[in-house]
Amino acid sequence: MLKYRLIFGPIMIAALIGVVIADGVLDGVDLTDSPLQAVFLGRTYLPSGLLMLACFAGLVVLGSRELCVIFRAKGVAIDTPVIVLSGLLGLLLFYAIPHGLGSQTAVAIYGTAMAGLFLATLVIHSRQGRTEGAIHAAAAGMFTFVYLGVLPGYLMGIRSWHSAWTLIAVIGITKACDIGAYFTGLAIGKHKLIPWLSPKKTWEGLIGGMLLSAVLATALAALGNRYGINGYWVRHDADREFVKVIYPLWFVFPAGLLLGAIGQFGDLVASLFKRDAGIKDSGRAIPGFGGVLDIIDSPVVVAPFAYWLLMLVRHL
C-alpha cells in the first residue's frame, strides 16, 4: 500500500497544482467588450473557480456513487441518480447563489432547494407503489446534500472570495496532517487514539500530524505575506479588486493546528460510516488510497471552519 501511496500521491498533488495554476490564470481574463461579458451579466471578469467547480463536481459525482455503495450495504434502497443530484445540488447552489443577495433570501433559496429535494426523493422512491424504505431514502438524499454538497461548497466559497492558491493551501494544510500522522504513527506511535473506530491511529500520530499542518500553514502564510498573494476579492459592480492582507503568524500557527485536528476528525467520521456499513474502503478508484471519499473525507469537514477562519483573519 505504501508503494502505491508514494506513486499516486505525487501524481494527485501535481494534478491539483496544475488545476490551481490554470484556474488562477482564468482570474486574469478580461471580458471587457467580449461576447462573454453579456453571458456573465456585464462583468469584466470570469467568476472565480470555474475550473475548480468542474473538478469538484466530478469528485461529487464519484463520491456520491461510492456513498450509494455504503447506503446499500446498510440495506437502504436508493436511486443512484437521486443521490448524485443531491450532492451536485448542494455544491452548485453554494457557488451559484449571487453574492449580492441578502442573507435572508440566500437562506430561503437554500431551504427551498432542500425542501424540493426532500419531496422529490419521496416521490421518486414511491413512484411504483414502493413504501418500504421511504424514510431511509429521503434521509440518504439529505445526508448527501449536506456531506457532499454543502460541506465541499464551502471550499468553492473560499475560492470565490480568495485566490486559487488560498484554496490549495487549505487543502494542503489539511492533508499534511494525514501525512504527518501516518509517518509519525508509523515511527513512534504507541498509544491508540480510538481503537474501536480506527485501530491504526495513535495520539502520537495525531500530534505529529497537527504540528506538520501548523508548520506548513505558517510557512505558506509567511510566503504569501512576502509575495503579496494573501488577500480577498472585493466586488465593485461589474469590476473587482484584490485586497492584500498580511496574515499574522501568531494566528496562523494555532489555526493550522486546528485545521489539522478537524481534518483527522473528518477522517474518523468517514471511518464511522464505513464501519457501520461493514466495508474497509469506500471504493478502489485510487490505488493505495481507496475511493474518492477516502481522499476528500478530511477537506470537506475542514471546509466550513477554514472559511470562517479566513473571514476572521481579515479583521486582525
Q: Where are the alpha helices (DSSP H) in the chain?
A: 2-27, 35-39, 50-73, 80-96, 103-125, 134-145, 151-161, 164-188, 203-227, 249-277, 292-313
The Cα–Cα gap between 62 and 288 comes to 17
Q: What is the pLDDT of residue 174?
A: 95
The Cα–Cα gap between 264 and 221 comes to 22
Q: What is the pLDDT of residue 294?
A: 87
* Domain spans in the chain, listed from the N-terminal domain onward: 1-38+163-316, 47-161
Q: What is the pLDDT of residue 2?
A: 59
How many angstroms separate the Cα of 237 from the Cα of each of 99, 101, 127? 11, 13, 46
**AA letter at 232:** Y
Q: What is the pLDDT of residue 1?
A: 57
Q: What is the pLDDT of residue 119?
A: 95
Q: What is the pLDDT of residue 23?
A: 85
> Under 8 Å CB-to-CB from 138, ≥6 apart: which residues?
118, 121, 122, 125
Low-confidence ranges of the chain (pLDDT < 50): none
Q: What is the pLDDT of residue 35?
A: 80
SS3 235: strand
pTM reported for the whole predicted model = 0.91
241 burial level (CB within 10 Å; 0-12, 13-18, 19+)? exposed
Q: How many CB atoms lie within 10 A of CB 7?
A: 11
Which stretches does DSSP call E strand in 173-310? 192-194, 198-202, 231-236, 239-244
Q: What is the pLDDT of residue 266?
A: 95
The residues with which 236 forms a beta bridge, in sequence order, are 239
Q: What is the pLDDT of residue 239?
A: 76
- Grid cell listed for 301: 469537514
**Angle ∠(70,71,76) on CA atoms, nearest 5:** 150
Characterize 142-160 residue by residue with b for buried, 16 or more Cβ atoms within 10 angstroms of its Cβ, and e for exposed: bbbbebbbbbbbbbbbbbb
Q: What is the pLDDT of residue 62?
A: 93
How many angstroms separate the Cα of 126 from the Cα of each of 79, 129, 131, 134? 11, 5, 6, 7
